[in-house]
Structure 1
């Protein structure tokens, strides 16, 4: 499971989402309260439909295209990270 492994090893992920390439620091991965596989991540590069290219975002795994783990790592949790994330019904991996 590349997302969980990227969280465990603190490696960046890249993927296409909503027509934009994204580079993110993955923080929490699991199943949200609606039953969707989801990732909470801090986006550090790429585009966004909202125009907010940097910051906290939620991504549904089914909509990620071309997911890849990058060789670059990150230092750990970003400010504002909440390990008790109410979005998730079940957490499989987190920082």
Structure 2
């Protein structure tokens, strides 16, 4: 998946559907950037999916380069979610954020 796709979902205010760790997930992107090791990551609120749909909803820090088949859906995002704070400390460089 590309950083641009995650930022497109964030900017358009839509949910992002992707494959991650072998499972389909629906997430609301809150921030996208790079770690100190230059790995592309995103801070997202997972609304559905994961391991057999039993994984809890909530905050996830996902490697963008490990996600596949990302599609910006027509479903509106409810971001920002509780406890969201701009300026994610896990990111040395922020590409886009709410």
Is TM > 0.5 for Structure 1 vs Structure 2? yes
TM-score when normalising by structure 1: 0.91
Distance 1:63 1:36 in 2: 10
Structure 2, gaps ≥5 residues long: none
| Structure (1/2) with the larger strand percentage | 1
What is residue 12 of structure 1 aligned with on the other side? 15
| 3-state SS of paired residue (1:88) | coil
Shift of 1:62: 1.2
What is residue 38 of structure 2 aligned with on the other side? 35
2:65 counterpart of 1:65: no
What is residue 49 of structure 2 aligned with on the other side? 46
Contact 2:49–2:55, Cα closer than 8 Å, also in 1: no
Shift of 1:84: 2.1
2:98 counterpart of 1:77: no
What is the CA deviation profile of residues 5-59 of structure 1, one whole-angstrom value per residue up to 9, with x for unaligned ones? 111111100111001100000000011122100011000001238x533010011
2:12 counterpart of 1:3: no
Structure 1, gaps ≥5 residues long: none
